[in-house]
């Protein structure tokens, strides 16, 4: 029997980081940078006004208060985007927009709210400090600075910086394309009539959501029956667009379970009894690949929807994040006190659906959802974490503290 740690390493070993790809900025959302990004120019490129107001010299505003404003003539107005602003004449003010370049000779900007909004002349009701309301040249970023480093995930904040320094393309680890194949004669698409002997394809929809949540692209194939020729054809057809293939079902020892036989002729996939519950039988390896090209990674998960979801979280999600260039690939872990007792299978690492409550300061509690040994979709839906029972523990008692993988 293969240990959880060994099977985890097998999944990570086949899930190589995808080669970097130069993409347009819009296509880099949620991707991980594969390059250091340097600023090609200063940001701001010049001294700019930080607000709407009036550009002034300090000495011209001395003594200005709300009760005794200082009045100055307004000689000009500078708008954002101006290229060659006029110089400030001593004893005058220039109306200026937020983001507009500062005129030569100006030492501060008096915010509009501390004036009478004058046009020909303005009453200033405060004496500004030197540099007040001015964004200095290169205050944000200096030319040549590394503004984002390789390995950084691109979210909204990083996107603002990339666009702000003028980058329209960037080198990233692309999002993996994951093909999901549910296997079994009994599987039908949700929306049809519930009949004896059929089950709706919970795995296809659930794993598509989980894959997208992990940052990858998902392609869900219609359920494939337990027919060797049909399954082989489906897998071969999907190789052209897959960076990873996920299958569910068809891997037990029954005569109708065809995955082992089909994959035995398509690649190098190893099937093992894994010391995990839920889970047990799983497969990992590669399919396709010829003329020196590497095969496509494939992970074969159990057909039970709860088992498939738990095994995805433990084994597949970290592999997908590794393919995207993440350094932190696993879910966060906290310790929590368990609310009930149960027997855990000897020699297996058990992953139990729980709902966490609490905080870092007060500590965490974990309420078991459903019965630990029962694979209930309702219990999985109510959970937000997986409590991990080590292989050498057979009895969990109420109040025991366990490590919990945080799912939300």
CATH number, span 333-406: 2.40.340.10
CA 97 – CA 359 distance, rounded (Å): 46
Which sequence spans correspond to the domains of the chain? 4-19+174-324, 21-43+139-173, 48-135, 333-406
pLDDT at 397: 97
Of 3.40.980.10, 3.90.79.10, 3.40.50.1110, 3.40.50.360, which CATH number belongs to 4-19+174-324? 3.40.980.10
> Residue 257: its pLDDT value, please?
66
Q: May I ask the CATH class of domain 48-135?
A: mainly beta
27 φ/ψ angles, rounded to the nearest 5 degrees: -90, 0
pLDDT at 280: 84
Intervals of the chain under pLDDT 70: 253-257, 291-292
Q: Which of 112, 100, 103 is nearest to 75 (CA)?
A: 103
- How many angstroms separate the CA atoms of 109 and 96, rounded? 8
| 319 contacts 296 by C-beta, under 8 angstroms | no
Output the pLDDT for position 267: 84
pLDDT of residue 292: 61
Question: pLDDT tens digits, residue range 145-179?
Answer: 999 999 999 999 999 999 999 999 999 999 999 99
Instruction: Give pTM, 2 decimals.
Output: 0.84
- Tell the CATH topology of 21-43+139-173: Molybdopterin biosynthesis moea protein, domain 2 (3.90.105)
What is the model's pLDDT at position 302? 94
């Amino acid at each position: 029997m293969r240990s959880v740690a060994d099977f985890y390493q097998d999944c990570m070993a086949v899930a190589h980081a995808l080669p970097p790809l130069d993409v347009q900025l819009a296509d880099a959302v949620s991707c991980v940078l594969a390059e250091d990004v340097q600023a090609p120019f200063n940001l701001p490129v010049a001294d700019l006004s930080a607000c709407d107001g009036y550009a002034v010299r300090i000495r011209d505003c001395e003594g200005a208060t709300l009760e005794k404003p200082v009045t100055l003539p307004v000689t000009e107005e500078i708008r954002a985007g101006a290229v060659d602003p006029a110089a400030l004449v001593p004893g005058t003010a220039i109306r200026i927009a937020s983001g507009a370049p500062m005129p030569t000779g100006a030492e501060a900007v008096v915010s509009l709210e501390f004036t009478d909004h004058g046009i020909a002349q303005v009453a200033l009701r405060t004496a500004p400090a030197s540099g007040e309301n001015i964004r200095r040249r290169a205050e944000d970023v200096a030319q040549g600075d590394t503004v984002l480093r390789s390995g950084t995930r691109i979210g909204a904040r990083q996107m603002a910086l990339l666009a702000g320094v003028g980058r329209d393309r960037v080198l990233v680890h692309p999002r993996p394309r994951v093909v999901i194949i549910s296997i079994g004669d009994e599987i039908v698409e949700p929306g049809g009539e519930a009949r004896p002997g059929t089950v709706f394809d919970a795995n296809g929809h659930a794993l598509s959501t989980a894959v997208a949540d992990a940052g990858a692209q998902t392609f869900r194939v219609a359920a494939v029956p337990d027919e060797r020729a049909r399954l082989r054809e489906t897998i071969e057809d999907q190789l052209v667009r897959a960076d990873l293939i996920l299958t569910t079902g068809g891997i037990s020892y029954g005569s109708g379970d065809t995955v082992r036989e089909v994959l035995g002729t398509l690649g190098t996939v190893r099937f093992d009894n894994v010391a995990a519950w839920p889970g047990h039988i799983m497969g990992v390896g590669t399919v396709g690949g010829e003329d020196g090209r590497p095969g496509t990674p494939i992970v074969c998960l159990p057909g039970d929807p709860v088992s498939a979801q738990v095994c995805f979280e433990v084994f597949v999600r970290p592999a997908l994040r590794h393919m995207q260039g993440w350094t932190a690939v696993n879910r966060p872990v906290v310790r929590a006190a368990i609310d009930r007792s149960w027997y855990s299978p000897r020699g297996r690492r058990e992953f139990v659906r729980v709902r966490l409550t609490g905080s870092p300061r007060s500590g965490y509690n974990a309420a078991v959802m459903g019965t630990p040994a029962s694979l209930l979709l309702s219990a999985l839906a109510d959970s937000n974490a997986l409590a991990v029972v080590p292989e050498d523990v057979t009895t969990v008692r109420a109040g025991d503290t366990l490590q919990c993988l945080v799912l939300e």
